[in-house]
């Protein structure tokens, strides 16, 4: 009888130890799964920011094998394709994101952004029209303004640009876009004002400086504005101003500005030299 009891006890103990081992193994597995999720999240973030865009595309493409409905991975692929300037593929990827569970209004905005980058303005408008009016974000209204610009709907464009500016603490780029919109309409004075505002917000924004010079030149004001600029920037802006003067028929002024640009540049300014030679050979 004692032997039977001992055997039963040993069997029970074995079963207990086996259960403990299984529970312990499951706990370890779950712990490693948690670690893997954290590591994967960190890696996804790295691939979206620091990695080469095409490497990121390859990473997310591989990660989606067997995980086609993982919306975080699909978003990562779509964002990486945009970074890699593979815009047609990015449109397809963002369309896929918007079919998955968990898709958001921001995903619709990202689809519109990809469509604009690929030049499909009509489809971008359709995508933005599907975003509810309660979704008021800087990116949404910046894109709305760009679409309105493409349709030459200036009243809507101005309204959307104004809203976009109010929704960001870094409005320089959108002010530059707004100014360029005014420039294309022939509203040179207002364009000049907006480019000046953009530069005050971000003194490193050379595109706005160049556009400011274009707006002044269009008004036959051929003096450089008082804005922060390095020596190379000064030479480049003089070159832009010179070409604007020539385009408007003020050839002598343009030649003088080209010579000033060449003498201002700290190195050889080949582009300006070629422009000057072309004028002198006429």
Q: What is the pLDDT of residues 86-138, one digit of tens each?
A: 999 999 999 999 999 999 999 999 999 999 999 999 999 999 999 999 999 99
Whole-model pTM: value is 0.80
Q: Does domain 104-169 have CATH number 1.10.238?
A: no
**End-to-end alpha carbon distance in the chain:** 121
DSSP 223: S
215: closest CA among 223, 50, 106? Answer: 223
Alpha helices in the chain (DSSP H): 2-49, 53-63, 71-83, 87-97, 105-117, 121-129, 138-150, 154-166, 172-185, 188-201, 206-218, 231-247, 251-264, 270-280
Instruction: Delimit the domains of the chain by residue range.
Output: 30-101, 104-169
Tell me the pLDDT of the chain (282 aa) as tens digits: 444 433 444 444 443 434 444 454 454 444 334 434 445 667 788 888 777 899 999 999 999 998 999 999 999 999 999 999 999 999 999 999 999 999 999 999 999 999 999 999 999 999 999 999 999 999 999 999 999 999 999 999 999 999 999 999 999 999 999 999 999 999 999 999 999 999 999 999 999 999 999 999 999 999 999 999 999 999 999 999 999 999 999 999 999 999 999 999 999 999 999 999 998 887
Q: Does domain 30-101 have CATH number 1.25.40?
A: yes
30-101 with 104-169: one CATH topology? yes
């Amino acid at each position: 009888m004692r032997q039977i009891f001992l055997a039963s006890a040993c069997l029970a103990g074995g079963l207990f130890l086996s259960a403990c081992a299984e529970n312990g193994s499951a706990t370890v597995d779950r712990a490693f799964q948690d670690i893997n999720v954290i590591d994967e999240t960190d890696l996804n973030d790295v691939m979206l920011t620091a990695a080469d865009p095409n490497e990121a595309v390859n990473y997310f493409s591989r990660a989606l094998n067997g995980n086609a409905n993982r919306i975080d991975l699909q978003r990562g692929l779509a964002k990486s394709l945009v970074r890699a300037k593979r815009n047609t593929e990015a449109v397809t990827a963002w369309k896929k994101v918007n079919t998955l569970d968990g898709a958001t209004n921001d995903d619709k905005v990202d689809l519109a952004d990809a469509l604009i980058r690929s030049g499909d303005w009509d489809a971008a408008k359709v995508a933005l029209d599907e975003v509810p009016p309660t979704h008021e974000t800087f990116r949404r209204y910046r894109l709305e303004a760009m679409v309105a610009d493409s349709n030459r709907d200036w009243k809507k464009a101005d309204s959307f640009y104004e809203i976009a500016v109010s929704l960001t603490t870094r409005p320089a780029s959108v002010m530059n876009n707004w100014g360029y919109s005014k420039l294309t309409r022939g509203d040179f004075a207002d364009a000049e004002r907006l480019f000046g505002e953009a530069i005050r917000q971000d003194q490193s924004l050379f595109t706005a400086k160049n556009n400011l010079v274009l707006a002044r030149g269009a008004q036959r004001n051929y003096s450089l504005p008082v804005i922060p600029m390095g020596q190379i920037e000064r030479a480049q802006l003089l070159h832009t101003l010179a070409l604007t003067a020539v385009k408007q028929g003020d050839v002598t002024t343009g030649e003088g500005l080209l010579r000033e640009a060449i003498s201002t540049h700290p190195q050889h300014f080949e582009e300006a030299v070629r422009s000057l030679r072309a004028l002198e050979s006429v």
